Amino acid sequence: MSSPTIGVLALQGDVREHAVALAEVGALARPVRRPEEIADLDALVIPGGESTTMSKLAVSFGLFGPLRERVAAGMPVYGSCAGMIMLADKILDGRDDQETVGGIDMTVRRNAFGRQNQSFEADIAFTPSPDRPLHGVFIRAPWVESVGAGVEVLATLESAPHEGRVVAVRQGNLVATSFHPELTGDGRVHEYFVDLVRDAV
């Protein structure tokens, strides 16, 4: 499949930026807000934003059921920042009523790197692209506290004070990053995901 159709969950966050990044690596991107728009997608991106707000809106729009069904059936999903939280089976420092789609056997800590004014950029060792580091943008970002046996670590931070922290993972057809590749102009994460989608459909 040369141009897979990939939805971008358009409840809030970096929807347009992800759509542009997907188009640049050969996918057809379209916004998704309603349950019926999920059925004919080849894959989905869950963008950054505010994870508790995103969770509440997904409940209000009736999206959790259809999303969990598609994930369980093998639909590829990529989540960045808040999207990583949405794909986590367990959350630390979340709201008591905060729901996730789940699917990745990992525990994620919300706002692990600090508040908005502690946002930062850093180079990342990205396993699928070992020749050169990725430059990551971290905005109120989570990190991966722990992973299960079936989870592959794709990226860690290379520099202090957070050296070694896990910031990108994959389990099956699900990929998640703490950082925002849609903001850097570096298409390698989106290209990696689109290649995964082509292999899966």
User: Catalytic pick from 18, 81, 190, 191?
Assistant: 81
Is 162 considered catalytic here? Answer: no
* 175 HSE (CA, 13 A, CB side): 23
Q: Which residue spans within the chain are E strands per DSSP?
A: 5-9, 28-32, 43-46, 77-80, 88-92, 104-109, 120-126, 134-138, 143-147, 152-157, 166-171, 174-177
Burial 146-157 (b: 16+ CB within 10 A, else e): ebeeebeebbbb
Is 180 considered catalytic here? Answer: yes
User: Catalytic pick from 17, 18, 182, 190?
Assistant: 182
Is 182 considered catalytic here? Answer: yes
The residues annotated with a catalytic role in the active site are 81, 180, 182
